[in-house]
Amino acid sequence: MKRPGGLIVEVTPGSLGDRIGLQPGDRLISINDHPLRDVIDVHFYGAEELLRLRVERNRQELRIQAVRKYGEELGLSFAHPTFDVEIRTCANHCDFCFVTQNAPGMRRSLYVKDDDYRYSFLLGHFVTLTNLNDDDWARLEEQRLSPLYVSVHATEPELRRRILGRQDAPDILEQFHRLAELQIEVHAQVVLIPGLNDGPHLERTLADLTALYRRPVASVGIVPIGLTRYSSSRCRPYTSDESRAVLDQFEPWRVRQRRKRGVAFFYPSDEWYLVAGRPVPPTEEYDGFPQLENGVGMVRQLLDEWEQLKADLPSLHVKHATVVCGTLIAPIMARLVQELNSYAQAELHLVPVVNHFFGPTVTVSGLLTGQDVVAALRDRFPGAGSGGQRATGELVLLPRSMFTQPTGYGTYSTPPGLTLDDRPTEELSTQMGVPVEMAATLREMIMLLS
């Protein structure tokens, strides 16, 4: 039987939790007599001025009282963000679900089909809202968990049920109206599948979501289906011509929304533009980048960052380096690396890596694996793959998105700094015989070279 409360793994020095004597290994059971289900409850019930904490330490119960200053947090990190139950998993059967397209033999966390509205609120994960029960709705009403990130795919109920592979899926528009009554904001996502929910079905979806602007939908990201070589789906990716047609279909909607409301509201992901061979929109077209983590506007931020950096470029200490990226962004990165070489009198070499692990249709940098990087650099570094002689005066720069990131919620997830095939930078460096560093931005990359 799972023990109640949340296991504390870290207490911030000087925080309220530290001052009242909370310690790693303690289990926080309740605040002001409210049993704690997750870190959301900790923040919600811990926002009062006077706090009564029930804590378990070494199987003994402690009662602690505290006075909280305005805006002060307890300063606690927990082993897992949910205390009462494990993560709510998905019971849908989408053909394009990326989790079901993972390779065999990977770490267990990569096979978890997260469909938990709490993780949507905490971490921005997209969920379908198909598993909400009466208790969930009651909690949403009490705590106003906003914003939520919701996968729509289609607003026609029968089509959406077909896409989700679930005939009892509720009407998403009815759920959105209910969220609007609770004043909960939604950032929506539509994954498009050729011949299924595009064309006239997409027109219907765009029209329905337009009617829900700000009540509750704040933005809509449109992304193309992603397929790996392990997919058993009959779906296929979009071609360049089809991507141009999709963008042409979006644009009148974006223009009308901007004219009427001052924002585009609908935001195609970067992949549409790159596959279509069209320039990404200027910064102002992204309205503050509300769907950035969904791959909407990352390329624009990259281009803008370079325009700022090249005006005051520092002297580079490392003149020879290899920059790695996925094949989708490669044409843009090639131009930026060429300009950087010219501005800094350097010899940086770009290596776009084909994704053999998931298949060549997976082209983004964030899904590259360590083994594919090592294989791609074998000719450039003769020691690659064998732990051979270290090269001198060289550096390999990998996209940080390849690696697991810290979540801020303790140790419940995979440790940060591992590739999808569980390789740290130290192992990659040993295999290739060259120093390896991660960079999330051009600024980070240039700092590592300076």
Q: CA-CA distance, 447 to 314, in Å (whole number)?
A: 9
Tell me the average confidence (pLDDT) per consecutive run of 10 residues in the chain, 450 residues long.
Answer: 86 96 97 96 96 96 95 93 83 87 84 90 95 96 97 98 96 98 98 97 98 97 95 92 98 97 98 97 98 96 96 88 96 96 92 96 96 92 54 80 72 70 93 93 94
d(CA 421, CA 404): 11
Can you give the C-alpha Rg of the chain in angstroms? 24
How far apart are the C-alpha atoms of 358 and 372, rounded to whole Å?
Answer: 10
400: DSSP letter: G
CA distance 373 to 366: 12
Query: What was the pLDDT predicted at 317?
Result: 86
One fold for both 6-78 and 99-295? no
Cis amide linkage into residue 147, ω under 30° from 0: yes
Are 325 and 352 in contact by the 8 Å Cβ rule? The answer is yes
Give the pLDDT confidence score for residue 442 in this predicted structure: 95
- 50-57 and 27-31 as β-strands: parallel, antiparallel, unpaired? antiparallel
332: closest CA among 284, 380, 366, 300? 300
Q: For 99-295, give the CATH class.
A: alpha beta
Pairing mode of beta strands 50-57, 60-67:
antiparallel
Record the pTM. 0.91
339: tokens are: 């300009």
398 touches 437 (CB < 8 A): yes
In the chain, where are the structural domains located? 6-78, 99-295, 303-449
CATH 2.30.42.10: does it fit domain 6-78? Answer: yes
SS3 at position 44: helix
